Structure 1
């Protein structure tokens, strides 16, 4: 598979997973957490499909497209560990989290996801939903939408 086809497959899975998640949390109170702002495409989509939810965003640096810049009070800038700890100080409040941290080196990205998993668990409400391109630990893995190959995107409940 070409890198272009792989990217299209990943982005389609991401979009389908985000859209599916909206229905999964529809009766649940709580905020949304987008871990890894990047260019801001996912955040922009989350704003569109979850207009009535507060969306927290975290990343090392703010370098997204200007139209996808989150409000300053919802952006946690810095390394993931202290940002997750800061968010956890208020207690669990996240109904849905999207994990998209990574540098593109599979072994390092998998190790980082495993290391951050306990901190992510601290901010998720019981029964909260988490979707990720990386394997996370300590969560109940569930099946996502049928349109997504099981190895392409991962779905979890807190």
Structure 2
């Protein structure tokens, strides 16, 4: 598979997974967390499909497209561990989390996801959903939408 085809497959899985999860959390109270802002495409999509939810965004630096810049009060800038601890100060508040941290070095990205899993769990409300491109630990893995290959994106219940 070419890198272009792989990227298209990943982005389609991301979109389909977020749409599926947004529909599943309709009756669940809580905010949304996008871990890994990057260019802001996922954040922009979350704003569109969940307009009534507060969307927290976390990344090392703010370097997204100007149209996808989160409000300053919802942007947690810095390393993931202290930002998750800061978010956890007020207790569990996240109904849907999207994990998209990584630099593209698989073994390092998997290790970071495992290391951050417990902190991610501390911000999740019971019954909340997590969508991730990396395996997370300490959550119940569930099946996502049928349109997504099982190895492309992972879905978890908090």
TM class by shorter-chain length? over 0.9
Matching of residue 86 in structure 1 with residue 86 in structure 2: yes
CA distance in 2, matches of 1:128, 1:19: 15
Return 5+ residue gaps in structure 2 as ranges.
none
Corresponding residue of 2:21: 21
Tell me the secondary structure at the aligned position of residue 33 of structure 1.
strand
**CA RMSD of superposed structures (Å):** 0.3
Matching of residue 77 in structure 1 with residue 77 in structure 2: yes
CA distance in 2, matches of 1:107, 1:22: 30
- List aligned pairs for 1:82-121, cutoff 5 A: 82-121=82-121
TM-superposed CA distance for 1:17, in Å, is 0.2
CA offsets 1:90-141 (integer angstroms, 9 cap, x no match): 0000000000000000000000000000000000001110000000000000
Corresponding residue of 2:48: 48
* Misfit runs of 4+, over 4 Å: none
CA offsets 1:60-85 (integer angstroms, 9 cap, x no match): 00000000000000000000000000
Tell me the secondary structure at the aligned position of residue 61 of structure 1.
coil
Corresponding residue of 2:147: 147
CA distance in 2, matches of 1:58, 1:22: 19
Matching of residue 66 in structure 1 with residue 66 in structure 2: yes
TM-score (norm 2): 1.00
Return 5+ residue gaps in structure 1 as ranges.
none
CA distance in 1, matches of 2:131, 2:42: 12
Tell me the secondary structure at the aligned position of residue 141 of structure 2.
strand
Paired residue total: 158
TM-superposed CA distance for 1:6, in Å, is 0.3
